[in-house]
Amino acid sequence: MVDMHKLIYGVSRNHRRSYTPRRHVLPRARSSHNLMEDAPTGIDAKTVTLISMRIKYLVEETIPCELEEDQIIKPHSPILTSKVIELCRNAGGEESGSCVIYCLLVCLEWFRWQSLKELYDADLGQLRAVACQMLAKHIIESTDDQEYLFQELLVKRFCHLQNGETTDPMSAIERAVDLHALEIIGSSGYQKCIKYLWNGWIIQDEHDPTHFVFYDKLTSVNYWTHVHPDRLKAPVYQNAFQMFVSFIYLGLYTAAINTVNPDGDIDIVEGILYVFTLGFVMDEAAKFWKVGRWYLGFWNVFNCILYVLLSVSFVLRCIALSEPRDTAERDRFNVLSYNFLAFSAPMFWCRVLLYLDSFRIFGAMLVILKQMFQETFIFFSLLIIIMVGFLQAFIGLDNTDAETAPPMTGFIFRTMANALLQSPDFGSFDKFSPPFGMILYYIFTFVIMVLLLNILIALFNSAYEDITGNAIDEYMALFAQKTMQFVRAPDENVFLAPFNLIEVFCLIIPCEWWMSRKQYAKLNDRVLSICYLPLLFISASIDVRYARKIVHNRAHNQADDDEREEWEELDSRADFENSEWKEKVKNVVPNVEEDVSTQEIKRVGRELKDLMDKIEKAGLLKERIWEEQDLLKEDTPEAIRAPDAE
Domain, as residue range, for 49: 16-186
Same domain membership, residue 178 and residue 62? yes
Domain boundary among 426, 451, 483: 483
Residues 257 and 171 grouped into a single domain: no
Contact 537, 227 (CB under 8 A): yes
pLDDT at 364: 77
Cβ-contact 292, 5 below 8 angstroms: no
Q: Which of 186, 217, 243 finishes a domain?
A: 186
Q: Are residues 162 and 256 in the same domain?
A: no
Comparing 373 with 170, which gets the higher pLDDT?
A: 170
The answer as to whether 24 is a domain residue is: yes
Number of domains in the chain: 4
pLDDT digits (tens, 9 = 90+) for 569-594: 776 677 777 778 878 888 888 777 67
Distance CA 477, CA 185 (A): 6
Q: Which residues contact 236 (CB under 8 A, 6 or more apart)?
A: 198, 199, 200
Residue 55 lies in a domain: yes
pLDDT exceeds 70 at position 210: no
Calculate the alpha carbon distances from 34 to 169, 294, 487, 517 in Å.
10, 20, 19, 20
520 domain-assigned: no
Percent of the chain's residues with pLDDT above 90? 27
- 268 and 311 in a single domain? The answer is yes
Neighbours of 637 (CB within 10 A): 7
User: d(Cα 515, Cα 176) in Å, to the nearest integer?
Assistant: 41
* Whether 342 and 368 share a structural domain: no
Task: Return the higher-pLDDT residue of 6 and 261.
Answer: 261
pLDDT digits (tens, 9 = 90+) for 583-639: 888 888 877 767 777 777 878 888 888 888 888 877 777 777 777 777 666 665 555
436 and 318 in a single domain? The answer is: no
Query: What does pTM read for this prediction?
Result: 0.79
Question: Once rounded to an integer, what is the mean pLDDT over residues 411-422?
Answer: 84
Q: Report how far residue 204's alpha carbon sits from residue 322's, in angstroms, rounded to the nearest whole number.
A: 51
Residues in the chain, total? 646
Q: Is the pLDDT of residue 25 over 60?
A: no
Q: Do 102 and 158 lie in a common domain?
A: yes
Is 574 a domain residue? no
Asked if the model's pLDDT at residue 17 lies above 60, the reply is: no
Q: Do 47 and 163 fall into the same domain?
A: yes
For residues 425-434, give the mean pLDDT: 76
The closest alpha carbon to 63, from 578, 390, 55, belongs to: 55
Is 273 in the same domain as 338? yes
Whether 438 and 419 map to the same domain: the answer is: yes
Cβ-contact 15, 371 below 8 angstroms: yes
Q: Is residue 274 part of a domain?
A: yes
Read off the amino acid at residue 77. Answer: S
Residue 495's pLDDT is: 85
Whether 166 and 143 map to the same domain: the answer is yes
| Domain-embedded: residue 467 | yes
pLDDT in tens, 263-320: 778 889 989 999 999 999 998 888 788 766 767 777 888 889 999 999 999 999 899 8
400-408: list long-range contacts, CB under 8 Å, 24+ apart. 400/433, 401/433, 408/432
Q: What is the mean pLDDT of the chain?
A: 82
Which of 13-17, 137-141, 333-337, 372-376 has the least mean pLDDT?
13-17
SS3 112: helix
Q: Which of 43-47, 63-67, 305-309, 432-436 has the lowest mean pLDDT?
A: 432-436
Domain boundary among 186, 202, 225: 186
For β-strands 157-158 and 170-171, DSSP reports them as antiparallel
Report the SS3 class of residue 202: strand
Angle between helices 82-89 and 100-117 (to 10 degrees): 110
- 469 lies in some domain: yes
Residue-by-residue DSSP string for 409-471 = HHHHHHHHHHHHTT----GGGTTSTTTHHHHHHHHHHHIIIIIIHHHHHHHHHHHHHHHHHTH
- Contacts of 442-447 with C-beta under 8 Å, sequence gap 24+, read 443/390, 444/386, 444/390, 444/416, 444/419, 445/419, 447/386
Flag whether 570 is in a domain.
no
Q: Are 327 and 421 in a shared domain?
A: no
Terminal CA-CA length for the chain: 117
Q: Which of these, 483, 473, 418, lies nearest to 445 by C-alpha position?
A: 418
Task: Give the pLDDT mean for 50-74.
Answer: 91
